[in-house]
Structure 1
Amino acid sequence: MKVKNLKIGSGKPKIAVPITGSTTDEILKQLNLILKQNDFDLIEWRIDFWKQFNDVNEFNYVAQMISEKLEAIPLLITFRSFNEGGQTKLTEEQYAKVIHNIINCRVADLIDIELMHPKKLILPLIHLAQNQNIKVIQSYHNFKITPEKSEMLEKLDQMQLNHVDIAKIAVMPHTSDDILNLLEVSNSFHHESNLPLISMSMGNLGKITRVSGQLFGSCITFGTVGNSSAPGQINCEILNQFLNTLN
């Protein structure tokens, strides 16, 4: 899959770096710091960290500034719900409104739309985004456990039935068996489906899954420049060295 000039799903996993600023100044400082690096492929703007995410005018203004600075670098915009590790609690209707605002701004190249929400809310948003040439990543996060393999595969199958562009699953391991289960699910889905996949186990125990995507089918991994957006993320320079070595 091609997003701007970036080919996702071929070669080594692409590195996404999160922006997690809580103010506009912090967001722009983080962005400028990231842009001094060469070891990443796309930016994820985590707007749930930002205090003004609900101000449509301010959102449009900042989003345009980010887009202009990125030029050919793809921009993924994500609002992560509180129940899946995000910073802010919203009702279902409020979440749908935020996603709608992101789509209508028309600067995102990719958007994260969570699986956990009712289909009657998210299916129209998926279609709206795709009609505006925004690629949809549908995601499932579990910060407590690694579910059974059958449950993880069921989540990924649901995403495929929703006709999204990329499926994403991130779970919390407690044992090495949890790691193996996540990798087995990834490998199986990668070989049986045409849908690009992002998969990872979180935390220190799960770091191995953030560098093994080329073997087990995960097409994007998340690295850091400064602050992380999830436990277990690796500095993007070190992460890129791992990926190049394994490649």
Structure 2
Amino acid sequence: MKYNICIPIPVKSANISEIKPILDKIIKKNPNLIELRFDYINDVQNLTYDFIKELMDTISSNIPVIFTFRNFSEGGKIKINQKDRFRILKMFIVAKPDYIDAEMNADKNFLYEFINLASQNGVNIIFSYHNFEKTIKFNETITLLQNFNSKLIQELSLKPEQYQNNVYKVVFTAQTFEDNIIPLRLCKHFSNLPQKLISFCMGPLGIFSRIMCVTVGSFLTYASLEEKTAPGQIHIDEMREIYNLFLKNL
């Protein structure tokens, strides 16, 4: 069995010549996915459709790509008004990445338009929840996901085919080593369901679940190459070595 490892890339400028050497290094590592973190950009005015398409052409590999413009309240690096952020996210969809990230707590009117546009363009959505303070209880997380699913069906009147291929992502912060049990239980629980899930803990105490989550059903985990985009990320070489040593994988 092969475990999905995603390498995030902070996109800090619209200068392709600056980004390409980093992309080339990452592609040589042959990760299962690449995440482009556009909330690191030095100026949101640089996020044009032409730049996005050129960046996609630069990758030009068979590696699936995730587009993310993280909300400031959930760990994003740039603070802009929601109207501009939603405009950027909708532009991203038209560029047709394999996946695009959207927070579960986004405005429901935006979500309705966003999900429909993604469905029309064949783009899968990663619906995400991040808690940078703690790890919430297992049952509380299940309720959170059930409530979000109900919002999609009841409040937004969406059809299953519009969202059933999407991914849920719930990420916590470990305050104790025992906190790692929660996301691992969640991954195991969802491994028996059609719904794909990503779940682990951030921070130094969360490294265990960050590594082990894929072994119990998480759709993917994240590893760094040159720059970390979240607390507790480890280098992809170290992660693969751990899988080789302890899990006899890869």
Q: Same fold (TM over 0.5)?
A: yes
Q: Greater CA radius of gyration, 1 or 2?
A: 2
Per the normalisation by structure 1, the TM-score is 0.86
Q: Distance in 2 between matches of 1:62 and 1:100?
A: 12
Matched, 1:169 2:170: yes
Structure (1/2) with the larger helix percentage: 2
In structure 2, the partner of 1:75 is 65
Once the two structures are overlaid, the 10-residue window that deviates more, 46-55 or 134-143, is: 46-55
Q: Distance in 1 between matches of 2:64 and 2:113?
A: 23
Matched, 1:153 2:142: yes
1:123 corresponds, among 106, 112, 120, to: 112
In structure 2, the partner of 1:185 is 186
1:125-176 Cα offsets, whole Å, 9 max, x none, are 0121122111111100111111222221123224544335111111101012
Q: Is the 8 A contact 1:153 1:189 kept in 2?
A: no
RMSD: 2.0
Q: Is the 8 A contact 1:67 1:75 kept in 2?
A: no
Matched, 1:19 2:20: no
Structure 1 SS opposite 2:117: helix
Identity in percent? 29
Per the normalisation by structure 2, the TM-score is 0.85
- What amino acid sits opposite 1:50 in the alignment? I
Structure 2 SS opposite 1:43: strand
Unmatched tracts of structure 2, length 5 or more? 153-162
1:28 corresponds, among 10, 14, 20, to: 20
In structure 2, the partner of 1:7 is none
Structure with the bigger RCO (C-alpha within 8 Å, sep 6+) is 1
Change (3 A) 1:71 1:185: closer
Shift of 1:121: 1.1
Unmatched tracts of structure 1, length 5 or more? 1-10
Q: Is the 8 A contact 2:6 2:223 kept in 1?
A: yes
Pairs within 5 Å for 1:59-70: 59-70=49-60
Shift of 1:124: 1.8
Structure 2 SS opposite 1:113: strand
Q: Distance in 2 between matches of 1:223 and 1:175?
A: 21
Structure 2 SS opposite 1:187: helix
1:65-98 Cα offsets, whole Å, 9 max, x none, are 3334332111110001111111012333222212
